[in-house]
Structure 1
Amino acid sequence: MGSFSVGEIKFRGRRFFSSVSFFLVMTGLLGACSVGPRYHPEHVALPAHYHEDDASDQDFRPQELVQWWQQFHDPVLDHLIQQAFDYNHDIRATAQRVLVAHALRDIEASQWYPQIDFSSLNGDLMKSTSLSNAMPRIDDLPRDPHASMLSYGFGASWQIDLFGRIGHQVDAHDKMIAQAQENRHAIMLTVLAEVARNYMTLRGTQHRLAIMEQHIRTARHLHERAIRLQRAGVGNTLHVAQTASLLHTQQSQRAVLCKTISQSMHALEILVGRLPGSLRAELTSTVPLPRVPPAPRTLPVRLLRHRPDIRRAERAYAQAMDEIGTEVAGMYPDLVLPLTYNPNASTFSQLFAAGAQAWQALAMTSLPLGHGGRQQARVRSAQAIAEAGRLKYHQQILTALREVEDAIVAWNGKKTHVGLLHQAAQQSRLANQRSRRLYEAGISDLLNVLETEQSALRAEDTELCAHIDWLHRTVDLHVALGSGWESRS
């Protein structure tokens, strides 16, 4: 079978189609010849007390660490965190950025497929008759300068990824998707920690306010007693002024605590995507202060691997390695197959005739030969960026280890601090009670009562502040371990 023709168009037969088939098979095989480096995960040495995960290890409690806020046994806190996961605007915005990263990856992956377009053209043409060569004659008969034109066509362009340039670009965008996901995880972890911290501050300040109210009642009682004694002629104005000063000082401190409570409520409302004031009825009532859960006794490696900043740095390093492959592939030949089919005619009946058909099938190859070393410089730049990414990844691991160790030291130190302050507060309350009884019996002076009252208030308030800080240190410890976001990832 040689060739056959339809009108003026000739089509090659078996030899033509065999050549095309062979060409497509060869380009497919060459497409597997990807150049450039490939990413291999880095292995980082960790301290001896960080161990590999073992299912038989009873000290490793995934559920307690992943959903660590449940260890405070506070249903209001659990509800607020679930609302933050669902309605926080920062978390929802980062989810959209993940979708953007997926769309950008699909844009790059579209280069793997033929790019096909359709076009059409129809209308009238009018040629100028004022030009000497505008009216050629055939058999001494002039042509009509008017013409109608109908045209439609398909254009296709297929870029063959011989050396993996497109593949490296798609892989790089896959790493960008992973980075966008880790950014979302980091935002989730930040929002989770802020909800927990503000809630601990709110509950602790409410207890500080309750203690302040007790001391204000005591100060008011002392002030009223001093006034009665002064009026009875057995007291003096000095005692009245001293008790009034104590009362006004404590009342001013109460105003500061009320402001802190309102600010903490507003912060929680914004974090859960609500308007300020919408959670006041739910948060106003005073509940027992959350108990501090025990810290994890061992540190599995998996916990550090779950930190979003470490995972994001690792994916950034992997993306930089793919960028090297993209630049290296740019030094090799680029093959594009442009195909067009574009019939032209003046009438609709002629548009599908053999004489109106027009098409072309080409193979375009380009190879950068001399650009002053530009492509080589791009490769060196990509290599330097990748090395910087590798170093940043290792530095991020070291930073995470430092934060974990600092969080453990702070947690243990605060535990000891709270225990000692609790004993001091108990002794101050006992001294204050004895001082008031002695004063009521007329044995002790009012000055001793005022001093022990202020000392007891400071001790109790300092203990509560330390307990709130201990709760914050617990949150910081779990943030340093990177736990929490996995529950709703």
Structure 2
Amino acid sequence: MKRLNQPANHNPGGENSQRFAGLLPAGDHGHGRAAHRILRLFASLLGAVFTACSPVGPDYRRPDTTMPERWHEAEPPPAAPSETVGADWWKAFGDPVLNRLIREAMVANLDLKQTYTRIRAAREQRIVAIANGLPIVSNKESVSRRLNNAGQSGAGGQPGGVGFGNNIDIFQLGFDVQWEIDLFGGIRRSIEAAEANLEAEVENSRAVLVTLLGDVARAYIEMRSNQHLLNVSQANLKLQLETARLMRIRYQAGLSDSLEAVQAEALAAQTQAQLPVYETARKQAMHQLELLLGKPPGALQTLLDPEQPVPSAPDRILLDLPSELLRRRPDIRLAERQLAAATAQVGVATADLYPKFNIAAFLGFQNMKITDVTALSKSWSAAGTLTTPIFNWGRIRANIDAKKAQQEQSFLAYQSAVLGALKDVENSLVAYAQEKDRRAALEQAVESNRLALKLSKERYRSGLTSFLNVLDSERAVYSAESDLVRSQASVAADLVSLYKALGGGWETALVDSGKLAGGS
């Protein structure tokens, strides 16, 4: 490395100037101008080469995905207007409490907050990747001691110049610049990977958000269904206890045997045994909601204890085309961004096969005596380093092959995400349609069993049938009413699963929460 020095205070008779003259040649303004012209020419040449060189490795292109033209399990289009799968799908249930829970979960859920921190980390990593391609300027202070054997010849051609054979101290203060010229695009590929990773974290946050919305809705439906099952059980228990009381009175009056009274009491006891089961499930669903909203147990009791019906779903909904899944499903978008990042990493690994060019420069002052400020000299240096891999035991090739394998893995994961999304929608469609049919049948069963109970009591009072028919009718009414509540909850839960499978919710949720605005 050639170093040019220009004294700040030129004093030919001074001791420091004489010692410095024996160390390195002093430079003047002419030398500086020539050096700067060389550097400008060198930078222009590098710029031209940098512009002409395209990054090595494969260029990313979104996969061509063939999607079905229609949903296989979808119902025929309705003649009357139907609900569409909107971004704020939970509002279709018309439940203000559910709407409130959803809004609070968007803001307070801890898992969702963790995804925001990962997005911030990915943004910082993108800055790191960009900074790797820019010059690095550092403050540099150094102290060194050198042996000077480069003095002028004395009499008879013998060495005898100033400072010959002396140890010379050199103190330097200035700025050091290091820059790796990205000729073959390794740094540019790493920036592409960082950008894709950032976008993948955004999509992951959206996927977590879609899952969160579905979990809140399902937990709320489960809580309300168990609350309603508890009420149905209590209402039937009240009737059964009244029947048992009457049977006990009839037995004591000698109008019936003890078997009828015991059977009535047994049925009431069986119904009463279900109350703790439903109460446990109700409270556990409430605790799950509190967890999803980032609240301690008991925080939602005042809001959720008042009785509300099980959320009812619209009978028909309009579906988007299957191709819309590629846009709506965050997990598909996440897999696609991970594929883009893996493709860029192949280019990063491939760039290691090619030469690396580094530029180093120093600009500052130097002196031979740290206490003598008047002898400060201007100092600058510039150097370029070209490094070419020759023999590395196959490490670079193995790394490239590993990155290609990871790229293929990401591509297969993307294909799996698309097929999984199609499966989720079809499963939700068939479950939703079949459960609606089951609910309609159970509604009819409840009406029929209530009528059968009424008739069996009338026939029993008329002496036309045994009391066993009354007990069977009461048991059938309770079973049918309980099954109907469960079916109503299943229809609502299946619709939530369908909304989730279609990827709905994150668009409006992002606007409401304000956490990911500008993050994509």
TM-score, length-normalised on structure 2? 0.83
- CA deviation after TM superposition for structure 1 residue 298, in Å: 3.4
Once the two structures are superposed, the pairs formed by residues 444-459 of structure 1 within 5 Å of their partners are 444-459=465-480
Any conservation in 1 of the 2:83–2:317 contact (CA below 8 Å)? no
Distance in 1, Cα, partners of 2:208 & 2:374? 60
Distance in 2, Cα, partners of 1:280 & 1:211? 21
State yes or no: 1:192 paired with 2:209.
no
Task: Tell me which residue corresponds to 1:322.
Answer: 344
Task: Tell me which residue corresponds to 1:176.
Answer: 197
Give the aligned residue type for 2:382: A
Task: Tell me which residue corresponds to 2:270.
Answer: 249
Give the aligned residue type for 1:44: T
Task: Tell me which residue corresponds to 1:278.
Answer: 299
Give the aligned residue type for 2:222: T
Give the match's secondary structure for 1:483. coil
State yes or no: 1:439 paired with 2:460.
yes
Any conservation in 1 of the 2:85–2:499 contact (CA below 8 Å)? no
Distance in 1, Cα, partners of 2:492 & 2:332? 25
State yes or no: 1:476 paired with 2:493.
no
Percentage identity across paired residues of the two chains: 29
Task: Tell me which residue corresponds to 1:365.
Answer: 386
Task: Tell me which residue corresponds to 1:131.
Answer: none
Any conservation in 2 of the 1:156–1:338 contact (CA below 8 Å)? yes
Task: Tell me which residue corresponds to 1:223.
Answer: 244
- CA deviation after TM superposition for structure 1 residue 304, in Å: 4.0
Task: Tell me which residue corresponds to 2:104.
Answer: 83
Once the two structures are superposed, the pairs formed by residues 36-115 of structure 1 within 5 Å of their partners are 36-49=57-70, 64-115=85-136
Q: C-alpha root-mean-square deviation of aligned residues, in Å?
A: 3.0
Task: Tell me which residue corresponds to 1:415.
Answer: 436
Distance in 2, Cα, partners of 1:427 & 1:469? 22
Distance in 2, Cα, partners of 1:42 & 1:234? 82
State yes or no: 1:26 paired with 2:45.
yes
Give the match's secondary structure for 1:388. helix
Give the match's secondary structure for 1:234. coil
Give the match's secondary structure for 1:224. helix
Task: Tell me which residue corresponds to 1:260.
Answer: 281
Task: Tell me which residue corresponds to 1:346.
Answer: 369
Deviations 1:177-202 (A, max 9, x none): 11111111111111111100011111
Task: Tell me which residue corresponds to 1:234.
Answer: 255
Give the match's secondary structure for 1:257. helix
- CA deviation after TM superposition for structure 1 residue 305, in Å: 2.3
Match of 1:305 among 327, 331, 339: 327
Question: Cα distance 1:349–1:287, how it changes in 2: closer, same or farther (>3 A)?
Answer: same
Give the aligned residue type for 2:284: Q
Quick check: 24-33 or 282-291, which moved more? 24-33
Deviations 1:407-443 (A, max 9, x none): 1111111111111111111101111122223334554
Deviations 1:130-181 (A, max 9, x none): xxxxxxx999xxx9x9x99865332221111111111100110111111111
Give the aligned residue type for 1:333: P
Distance in 2, Cα, partners of 1:61 & 1:160? 60
- CA deviation after TM superposition for structure 1 residue 39, in Å: 0.4
Any conservation in 2 of the 1:344–1:351 contact (CA below 8 Å)? no
Give the aligned residue type for 1:248: A
Q: How many residues are treated as equivalent by the alignment?
A: 464
Give the match's secondary structure for 1:65. coil
Distance in 2, Cα, partners of 1:182 & 1:399? 17
The unaligned stretches of length 5 or more in structure 1 are 51-57, 126-136
Give the aligned residue type for 2:376: A
Distance in 2, Cα, partners of 1:411 & 1:117? 65
Distance in 2, Cα, partners of 1:414 & 1:253? 24
Question: Cα distance 1:389–1:351, how it changes in 2: closer, same or farther (>3 A)?
Answer: farther
State yes or no: 1:118 paired with 2:118.
no
